[in-house]
Structure 1
Amino acid sequence: MTSCRELISHRSRLVFGCSQFLRFGRTQLVSCLFPAALFAGLAISKYIDLPIARYDALLGFCLLLTLGCWLAGLETWREIAVIFGFHLIGLGLELFKVQIGSWQYPGDAVTKFAGVPLFAGFMYAAVGSYICQAWRRFDLRVSGYRPVLTTVLAVLIYGNFFTHHWLPDLRIPIALGLLLVLRRTWVFYTVGTRRYRMPLALSFALIGFFLWIAENFGTFLDAWNYPDQVSVWRLVHPAKFGAWALLVSMSFVLVASVKSLEGRLYHRGTPASVVTPKATEISLQHSPANQVQM
């Protein structure tokens, strides 16, 4: 028979777990400030008549939003540079994919080049903004991270989005290579007063899944359309979830390079509140002081 003390203990753990989950969700929502504002702009521009073309208005809105985040101290100039870098990477992919007919942007705009509105790069920049915000608000650190190999694989992933139209699609072997390189890489984060960890590869998959959901909202709001969505909206193919999970690696590499310069990349194993017992041991084994990063 369960004692009253055990029941109270179980109830306390349940209450604590629920409160931690709510704290985690709240921090995630705050970290999504830029993406949330971007989708608000997409929704408003779809249903409200504007004095200028929709894509032109969205470009101005995104520029003001980026400036506002910097002036408010939500993002540093280094983070803005990283976000802008991912903007350019995304814009290059958009220009290529639109030209070969992978998707299209309906409507005209002054700031539309080769079928791609310049605001489109901000949808990729929003991913970089989220990672920067989450890094700060969750006090993220990594252990066992191999920057050179991870960067090489991230570049190969990006390149494969172009080359698979003529050469064999290598995303599966590259993804397996990324999993191999990240097999001992952990990301540490704080929720409330507790410190947790998860595999970095798992975080890529989770972010990719929510980006796939966001892409469904974006196409529903006619920000862009896949060929099978031109006449009637359909769910974005689930394969895009995997593509986003892979592309997140590029954004992470860019943000990690800045955090390395700031001394905020590696977990040193000092917090005593890490929930998993082996977390400190693993982080110490793979910290820069104890191994040469490849």
Structure 2
Amino acid sequence: MKSLIQLLHFGYHQAMSCIFPVAIFGTLALSSVIPIPFLHRYDAILLVLLAVQYLMYRSGLETKDEIKVICVFHIIGLVLEIYKVWMGSWSYPEQAYSKILGVPLYSGFMYASVASFMCQVWRRLRMDMTGWPGFAPSMLLGAAIYINFFTHHFMPDFRWWLTALVFIVFWKTWIIYRVRATTYRMPLSLAFIIVGFFIWTAENIATFFNAWKYPDQHDAWQLVSFSKISSWFLLVIISVIIVAQLKYVKANRTADDPKSS
């Protein structure tokens, strides 16, 4: 019975942490079947997601610091989207006023939703980490992963080397999380894989509802390649590195502030 109660509490906090991602995919699904008068679909999605973010902040579901992290990830994601669309990796075929170089502004929120989940679940499950490799190794690895998303179009793809490096750099790192009064832990690399798989699943849902299209999906929808799991695995690592580093910076500032004691 205790295990069931723990599972229910864990599921509740996971579900609450997924409010923004669910809002994104719910909006994509509804807007694909319900005509929107006077607005292009991509523009309507952007307005809805801005409204959701505003309501989450005003209701206290998200903090000001979490909004800042989401904005950072929106920019990181949007830059990557612009480059990938320019290279022909995928496309956004519908019209919109809120497009920049063929990419609708709402697309950055799909990356930001990963950061939203990370921030929310970190706070709700009172997460911490042991064996964190430190600022330089983690940030250099995160930067190398992000740069490889751009350079593999005209240079060798180092994703598998980078994946191996992830397991080396983080092999001592464990996530500590708490459900009620009980503390649990999990290898960080395993968490990367689990979250990457669920994002790949969400990506299949998004492409099914025409959020974007890969070249092989223009004639008819088909399952996104399993190889994309590795891309999301690496993207999740960037998210965790930035969120964890910001959490540590904030914790150190709080500890150094005499007013906090």
Instruction: Name the TM tier (shorter chain).
Output: over 0.9
**Does residue 23 of structure 2 align to residue 37 of structure 1?**
yes
Based on CA coordinates, which of the two structures has the bigger radius of gyration? 1
**How many residues end up aligned between the 2 structures?**
251
Question: Structure 1: which 4+ aligned runs deviate by more than 4 Å?
Answer: none
Q: Distance in 2 between matches of 1:92 and 1:113?
A: 10
Matches within 5 A, 1:188-203: 188-203=176-191
C-alpha displacement of 1:123: 0.3
Q: Distance in 2 between matches of 1:77 and 1:16?
A: 35
Residue 5 of structure 2 is matched in structure 1 by 19
Residue 259 of structure 2 is matched in structure 1 by none
Matches within 5 A, 1:242-261: 242-261=230-249
- Tell me which moved more, 64-73 or 237-246: 64-73
Residue identity over aligned pairs, in percent, reads 45
Q: Distance in 2 between matches of 1:125 and 1:163?
A: 22
Q: Which amino acid counterpart does residue 47 of structure 1 have in structure 2?
A: V
The answer to whether the 8 A contact 1:53-1:109 is kept is yes
C-alpha displacement of 1:108: 0.3
Deviation per residue, 1:106-155 (Å, 9 max, x gap): 21000011111010000000000000110011110011112321111111
The answer to whether the 8 A contact 1:208-1:242 is kept is yes
Q: Distance in 1 between matches of 2:10 and 2:43?
A: 35
Over the aligned positions, Cα root-mean-square deviation in angstroms equals 1.4
**Does residue 122 of structure 2 align to residue 135 of structure 1?**
yes
C-alpha displacement of 1:22: 2.8
Deviation per residue, 1:235-257 (Å, 9 max, x gap): 00011111101111111122113
**Does residue 147 of structure 2 align to residue 159 of structure 1?**
yes
**Equivalent of 1:172, from 147, 160, 174?**
160
Q: Distance in 2 between matches of 1:100 and 1:230?
A: 16
**Does residue 110 of structure 2 align to residue 123 of structure 1?**
yes
Q: TM-score, normalised by structure 2?
A: 0.93
Residue 55 of structure 1 is matched in structure 2 by 42
Residue 175 of structure 2 is matched in structure 1 by 187
Q: Distance in 2 between matches of 1:228 and 1:55?
A: 22
Gaps in structure 1 of 5+ consecutive residues: 1-14, 266-294
Gaps in structure 2 of 5+ consecutive residues: 254-261
Q: Which amino acid counterpart does residue 117 of structure 1 have in structure 2?
A: P
Q: Which amino acid counterpart does residue 98 of structure 2 have in structure 1?
A: T
Higher helix share: 2
Q: Distance in 2 between matches of 1:169 and 1:129?
A: 29
Q: Distance in 2 between matches of 1:31 and 1:149?
A: 28
